């Protein structure tokens, strides 16, 4: 999850969920940096990665909410290329980055909080429950860090979803207008619609990412100890991101739809809570409806993790050089 991953270093969660894996990889290589530099490098790397993969992220959201409202349902099951062409023809090429500014505003604090919280939770868990095995420490620490970061920055994630889901009708003119309109029309709690689905999904999503990453990395290094750390991190991060996305994508989809409840003055679609939303989607769209857009989520994994690693390593070298002066 963006419960997408997603950085812990994808909400998104997602947003991708390889974000969490990237945080763990980076944490293993930051001992020479101070905490402030770690947070700065992590936040910038996450924001840059999200900007590069923004077109795929917006397409994912549009596919996830397909079927929620009549004009979106009219698309039926368009191909990725069909929907991409529609965006270019009807909204212009820049529309692929619709909502990206709020994504950056969300990703910087989200990445920093998640990255920082993971290390702190891991230390606390290790100190208090020293009998726990390392994989369990990574699992619990990663899940708690994801929940902490998602809760702290949730309103930004909701606004990002609403801006990205807009097509031809522009109900929200920007970040500040979206915040004020939601508070006016839906109350302050309107900024937290779908938080339950987010918290239910982000913990397992990040925890699976961390745990699968750790297991794959240990197996790889035991078999090929001389391979590049960057190559191992990219490969294991990508595979663990796919694993966590597959496991938690339905929750991310429901989260996105609940975030759009009441947007633009529309009537509520899902009135029976989280599990009622699941039931309605399965009833009206089938089980496949819970996985709308998952291929796009898979497409984001390798470039997202790769960009994060590359950017972070570059920033780490630059900041290490500055700190030496």
Q: Is residue 195 part of a domain?
A: yes
Q: What local confidence, expressed as pLDDT, does residue 78 receive?
A: 66
The pLDDT value given to residue 262: 80
Sequence-distant (≥ 6) Cβ neighbours of residue 145 within 8 angstroms: 8, 20, 23, 113, 114, 115, 117, 118, 121, 206
Residue 307 lies in a domain: yes
Structure pTM? 0.79
Confidence at residue 9, expressed as pLDDT on a 0 to 100 scale: 38
Q: Looking at the domain assignment, is residue 180 inside a domain?
A: yes
Question: What is the pLDDT at residue 14?
Answer: 43
Spatial separation of the C-alpha atoms in residues 249 and 15, rounded to whole Å: 10
Q: Other CB atoms closer than 10 Å to residue 127's CB: what's the count? A: 8
Structural domain including 169 reads 19-320
Q: Among 2, 35, 9, which residue's Cα sits nearest to residue 308?
A: 9
The pLDDT of residue 169: 76
Q: What CATH number does residue 236 fall under?
A: 1.50.40.10
Residue 108 resides in a domain: yes
**CA separation for the pair 223, 24 (Å, rounded):** 21
One digit per residue, the tens of pLDDT, for the chain of length 325 reads: 433 333 333 443 444 344 555 555 555 554 455 667 777 777 788 888 889 999 999 999 999 988 776 544 444 556 888 889 989 999 999 999 998 999 888 877 887 788 778 888 888 888 777 666 676 777 788 778 878 888 889 999 999 999 998 887 788 988 999 999 999 999 999 999 989 888 888 767 767 877 788 889 899 989 998 888 778 878 888 888 888 889 989 999 999 999 988 887 777 778 778 888 898 899 888 898 899 989 999 998 878 877 887 787 788 778 776 655 5
Q: What is the pLDDT of residue 127?
A: 77
Rounded CA gap, 240 and 209, in Å? 5
Instruction: DSSP for 28-47, please give it.
Output: TT-TTS-HHHHHHHHHHHHH
Question: What pLDDT is attached to residue 72?
Answer: 44
Do the Cβ atoms of 77 and 67 come closer than 8 Å? no
Q: Is there a domain that residue 13 lies in?
A: no
pLDDT at res. 74? 46
Cα separation values, 33 from 116, 122, 233, 252, 318, Å:
13, 18, 19, 34, 11
What pLDDT was estimated at residue 272?
Answer: 76
Give the C-alpha separation, 39 to 114, whole Å.
9
User: Is residue 273 in a domain?
Assistant: yes
Tallying the residues shown for the chain, one arrives at 325
Per the domain annotation, does 89 fall within a domain?
yes
Whole-number pLDDT of residue 291: 93
From CA 11, how far away is CA 73, in angstroms rounded? 25
The number of domains in the chain is 1
Residue 101 domain-assigned (yes or no): yes
Query: CA nearest 209: which of 61, 1, 65, 63?
Result: 1
């Amino acid at each position: 999850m963006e419960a997408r991953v997603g950085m812990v270093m994808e909400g998104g969660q997602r947003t991708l969920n390889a974000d969490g894996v990237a945080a763990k990889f980076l944490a293993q290589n930051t001992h020479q940096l101070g905490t402030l530099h770690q947070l700065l490098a992590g936040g910038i790397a996450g924001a840059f990665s999200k900007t590069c993969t923004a077109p795929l992220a917006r397409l994912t959201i549009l596919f996830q909410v397909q079927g929620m409202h009549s004009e979106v349902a009219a698309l039926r099951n368009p191909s990725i290329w069909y929907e991409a062409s529609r965006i270019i023809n009807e909204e212009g090429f820049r529309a692929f980055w619709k909502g990206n500014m709020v994504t950056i505003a969300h990703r910087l604090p989200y990445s920093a909080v998640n990255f920082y919280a993971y290390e702190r939770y891991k230390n606390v868990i290790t100190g208090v429950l020293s009998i726990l095995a390392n994989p369990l420490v990574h699992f619990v620490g990663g899940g708690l860090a994801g929940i902490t970061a998602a809760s702290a920055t949730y309103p930004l994630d909701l606004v990002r979803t609403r801006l990205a889901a807009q097509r031809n009708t522009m109900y929200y003119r920007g970040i500040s207008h979206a915040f004020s309109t939601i508070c006016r029309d839906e109350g302050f709690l309107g900024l937290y619609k779908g938080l339950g689905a987010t918290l239910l999904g982000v913990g397992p999503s990040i925890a699976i990412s961390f745990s699968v990453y750790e297991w794959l990395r240990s197996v790889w290094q035991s078999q090929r100890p001389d391979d590049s750390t960057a190559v191992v991190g990219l490969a294991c991060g990508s595979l663990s991101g796919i694993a966590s996305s597959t496991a938690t994508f339905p929750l991310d989809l429901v989260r996105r739809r609940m975030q759009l409840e009441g947007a633009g003055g529309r009537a509520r679609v899902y009135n029976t809570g989280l599990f009622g939303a699941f039931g309605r989607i399965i009833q009206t769209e089938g089980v496949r409806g819970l996985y709308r857009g998952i291929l796009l989520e898979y497409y984001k994994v390798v470039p997202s993790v790769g960009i994060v690693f590359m950017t972070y390593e570059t920033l780490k070298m630059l900041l290490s050089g500055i700190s030496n002066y």
